[in-house]
Amino acid sequence: MTATENAVREGRRAGKGSAKTPRRRRVAQNRWLPYLLLAPAIIFELLVHVIPMLTGIGISFLKLNQFFLRNWLEAPFAGLSNYHYAVDVNGSIGKALLWSFVVTIGFTILVVGLSWVLGMFAAVMLQRSFRGRALLRTIFLIPYALPVYAGVIVWKFMLSRDNGMVNHLLAQLHITDGHTFWLIGNNAFASIVVVAVWRLWPFALLTLMAGMQSLPTDVYEAAAVDGAGMWQQFRKLTMPMLRGINQVLILVLFLWTFNDFNVPYTLFSASIPKSADLISIHVYQSSFQNFNFGLGSAMSVLLLLFLLVVTGLYLLFTSRRSRRA
């Protein structure tokens, strides 16, 4: 029991003695106040997230195509057939979804890993004060500050085959013949990973930099006196003290990357190559290009379940580990 709670109880007890009724009313009012203050947030949460989500789950059980678009409540009930299509890996739809899932997992691991490593490296380097530090910090944050569309469309120009800067540069340096496709075929995967990391790593940097601000300097001084080098300081001091931050950071990076729609959509328009067939675009195409909103919703629900399971396991695992530590 905390000191504040004790004080509140004391206060209540004291109140019982003298002038009973007005005090009690005030307490009753106070009890409702937090809910009242939370109400707008809860209402918006319901409107913006919960209700559309439940609607999406509902749609996944319907045969919703162009005939019922206008009045989708009249769409016939499809039972589990949309789910059946989505998970039947022998059919072409299920196979394509599985492929897209595998691509997305690979993409997510690479992007989260690289963004974290880059962010951590830069944050450690920027921890000590030197000339030009503020300038570097600002430069590093530019990709994150730019609107997604503006940043990614420039990448699209740079990566185009005939007039792109990347091919031009590679040809000038005699690394390739300058006729490489970066936006179609297998190279598209490398392109999307690079662009996504470019876009995401400043967020890792920002979070880790903020986390490091709160680390006590005296511990490092003591460690230095004891003869710990930079690597040892990093491993034995920085990493353990940043555990809580890393836990949330990696989870957020994972969720953002796994669901990223803007970057691949801007880079490839609606024509995403098979090697970079990320799941968010895949679901979108199943719904909008094929006019099959039931199937698209079923895929989304599966995606949601997967993310919930992963997140749950991750939290269970990481919190158990930190309790042991």
Q: Does 304 participate in binding other proteins (rule CB under 8 A)?
A: yes
Torsion of CA 236, 238, 241, 245, to 10 degrees: -140
> Which CB sits closer to other proteins, 141 or 184?
184
Q: What's the Cα-to-Cα distance from 18 to each of 11, 13, 21, rounded to whole Å?
A: 11, 10, 9
Which residues between 249 and 268 bind other proteins (CB under 8 A)? 251-252, 255-256, 258-259, 261
Q: How far is the CB of 231 from other proteins (least distance, A)?
A: 29
Which among 14-22, 109-117, 196-204, 280-288 is the span making contact with other proteins, rule CB under 8 A? 280-288
CA atoms within a 13 Å half-sphere pointing along the CA-CB vector of 107: 32
Alpha carbon distance 25, 88 (integer Å): 61
Q: How far is the CB of 174 from other proteins (least distance, A)?
A: 17
Interaction pattern, residues 192-221, with other proteins; x per rule: CB under 8 A: ------------------------------
Q: Which of 230, 269, 317, 321 binds other proteins (CB under 8 A)?
A: 269
Q: How far is the CB of 49 from other proteins (least distance, A)?
A: 5
Q: Which of 11, 106, 185, 229 binds other proteins (CB under 8 A)?
A: 185
> Which CB sits closer to other proteins, 232 or 319?
319
Which residues between 120 and 179 bind other proteins (CB under 8 A)? 160-162, 179
Q: Considering just the CA atoms, what is the radius of gyration of the chain in Å?
A: 26
> Which CB sits closer to other proteins, 236 or 321?
321
> Which CB sits closer to other proteins, 54 or 139?
54
Q: Which of 18, 271, 324, 325 binds other proteins (CB under 8 A)?
A: 271
> Which CB sits closer to other proteins, 234 or 291?
291
> Which CB sits closer to other proteins, 238 or 285?
285
Token pair belonging to 118 = 């880059």
Which among 27-35, 220-228, 229-237, 245-253 is the span making contact with other proteins, rule CB under 8 A? 245-253
Q: Number of residues in contact with other proteins, rule: CB under 8 A?
A: 71
Residue from 81, 97, 58 nearest 277 by CA: 97
Do the Cβ atoms of 100 and 279 come closer than 8 Å? yes
Interaction pattern, residues 29-68, with other proteins; x per rule: CB under 8 A: --------------------xx-xx-xxx-------xxx-
Q: How far is the CB of 128 from other proteins (least distance, A)?
A: 29
Which among 9-17, 214-222, 228-236, 317-325 is the span making contact with other proteins, rule CB under 8 A? 317-325
Which residues between 66 and 105 bind other proteins (CB under 8 A)? 66-67, 69-72, 85, 91-93, 96
> Which CB sits closer to other proteins, 193 or 276?
276
Alpha carbon distance 216, 259 (integer Å): 36
